[in-house]
C-alpha cells in the first residue's frame, strides 16, 4: 500500500524578513537563538523547525504562528 | 559550513585517514600496524570548532537532531560490523586446524569497528546536512 505523503510545512520567513527593513538571516538567527545555516535551511524548505523555534520566529515578526508557517497539504 | 559540519568532516576525514594509514603500513609492520588506529585520538580535537566565540549560537536544535540521528546510524552500523565480523571470524577459525580465532584478527576487528563508528557518524551527518530534515 503506498504511503500517504506527509504535508510539507511552508513559510514566509524570507518575505517577512525583507519587510522588516532588510533584516539579515544572521540577525534573525541571533534573535531566535539558532545558527544562520538553520535559517537558510528553513527558508529554503530544507528544514522543518521545532514548534518552539516556529513560535519564537512568529514572535519576532509579531504575527500569529499560522501566518508565518502553514501546511501545504496538496 | 557551521561548526557541527566541520566536526562531521573531521570525524570522517580522521577515520578514513587512520584506515588508509593502517592498510598502507600493514605490509611492513604486520599486526603492529593497528597501532596507527591511535590516529583516531585526533577526533576529540574537533571540539575546537565548538568554542564559543562571541554571543552567537554555535550549536542549535537542527545540529543536535542531526548529530543524534548520525550517532544512531553510526552505532548501528559499527555494531552490525562487529557482530558480522565476529561470526565470520568464528566460522573461519573453526575451519583451521587449531579451531582458534586469531587475536590479531580480533584486534583488527575491534579497531575497525571504532573507525567505522566515527567514519559513519561523520558521513551520515554530512549527508543529513544536505537533505531536507524535520525537527
Nearest Cα to A8, choosing from A71, A50, A54, A66?
A71
Nearest Cα to B4, choosing from B128, B111, B134, B112?
B128
Report CB contact under 8 Å: B60, A49: no
Report CB contact under 8 Å: A38, B60: yes
ipTM: 0.79
Nearest Cα to A11, choosing from A63, B50, A37, B129?
A63
- For residue B133, what is the nearest residue in chain A, using CA coordinates? A47
Report CB contact under 8 Å: B62, A38: yes
For chain A, what is the radius of gyration of the CA atoms? 13
| Predicted confidence (pLDDT) per residue in B66-104, tens digit | 999 999 999 999 999 999 999 998 998 888 888 888 888
With a CB cutoff of 8 Å and minimum separation 6, the contacts of B86 are: B109
- For residue B2, what is the nearest residue in chain A, using CA coordinates? A37
End-to-end CA gap in chain A = 20
CA distance B32 to B15: 18
- What are φ and ψ of residue B83, in 5° steps? -65, -50
Cell of B82: 562487529
Residue B13, pLDDT score: 94
B126 CB within 8 Å of a chain A CB: no
Report CB contact under 8 Å: B134, A33: no
User: Which residues of A fall within a CB distance of 8 Å from B61?
Assistant: 34, 38, 49-50, 52-53
**Between A and B, how many residue pairs show a Cβ–Cβ distance under 8 A?**
52
Per-residue pLDDT of chain A (74 residues; tens, 9 = 90+): 566 666 688 999 999 999 988 889 999 999 999 999 999 999 988 889 999 999 999 999 999 999 999 988 76
Report CB contact under 8 Å: B57, A41: no
Can you give the three-state secondary structure of B105-130, one letter per residue? HHHHHHHHHHHHHHHHHHHHHHHHHC
Report CB contact under 8 Å: B133, A45: no
Which residue of A33, A47, A53 is in closest CB contact with B133? A47
Per-residue pLDDT of chain B (135 residues; tens, 9 = 90+): 888 999 999 999 999 999 999 999 999 998 888 889 999 999 998 888 888 877 888 888 999 999 999 999 999 999 999 999 999 989 988 888 888 888 888 888 999 999 999 999 999 999 999 887 665
B59 CB within 8 Å of a chain A CB: yes
DSSP annotation of A21: T
Residue A33, pLDDT score: 92
- Other C-beta atoms within 10 Å of B3: how many? 20
A7 CB within 8 Å of a chain B CB: no
Residue A74, pLDDT score: 65
Amino acid at each position: 500500500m503506498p504511503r500517504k505523503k506527509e504535508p510539507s510545512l511552508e513559510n514566509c520567513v524570507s518575505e517577512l524578513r525583507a519587510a522588516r527593513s532588510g533584516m539579515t538571516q544572521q540577525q534573525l538567527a541571533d534573535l531566535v537563538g539558532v545558527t544562520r545555516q538553520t535559517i537558510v535551511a528553513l527558508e529554503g524548505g530544507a528544514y522543518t523547525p521545532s514548534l518552539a523555534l516556529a513560535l519564537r520566529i512568529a514572535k519576532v515578526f509579531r504575527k500569529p504562528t499560522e501566518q508565518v508557517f502553514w501546511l501545504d497539504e496538496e | 559550513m557551521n561548526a557541527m559540519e566541520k566536526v562531521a568532516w573531521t570525524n570522517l576525514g580522521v577515520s578514513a585517514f587512520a584506515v588508509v594509514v593502517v592498510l598502507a603500513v600493514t605490509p611492513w609492520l604486520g599486526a603492529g600496524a593497528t597501532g596507527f588506529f591511535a590516529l583516531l585520538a585526533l577526533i576529540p580535537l574537533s571540539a575546537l570548532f565548538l568554542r564559543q566565540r562571541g554571543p552567537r549560537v554555535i550549536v542549535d536544535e537542527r545540529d543536535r537532531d542531526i548529530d543524534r540521528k548520525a550517532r544512531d546510524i553510526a552505532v548501528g552500523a559499527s555494531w552490525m560490523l562487529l557482530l558480522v565480523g565476529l561470526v565470520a571470524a568464528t566460522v573461519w577459525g573453526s575451519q583451521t586446524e587449531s579451531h582458534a580465532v586469531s587475536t590479531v584478527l580480533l584486534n583488527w576487528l575491534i579497531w575497525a569497528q571504532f573507525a567505522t563508528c566515527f567514519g559513519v557518524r561523520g558521513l551520515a551527518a554530512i549527508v543529513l546536512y544536505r537533505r531536507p530534515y524535520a525537527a
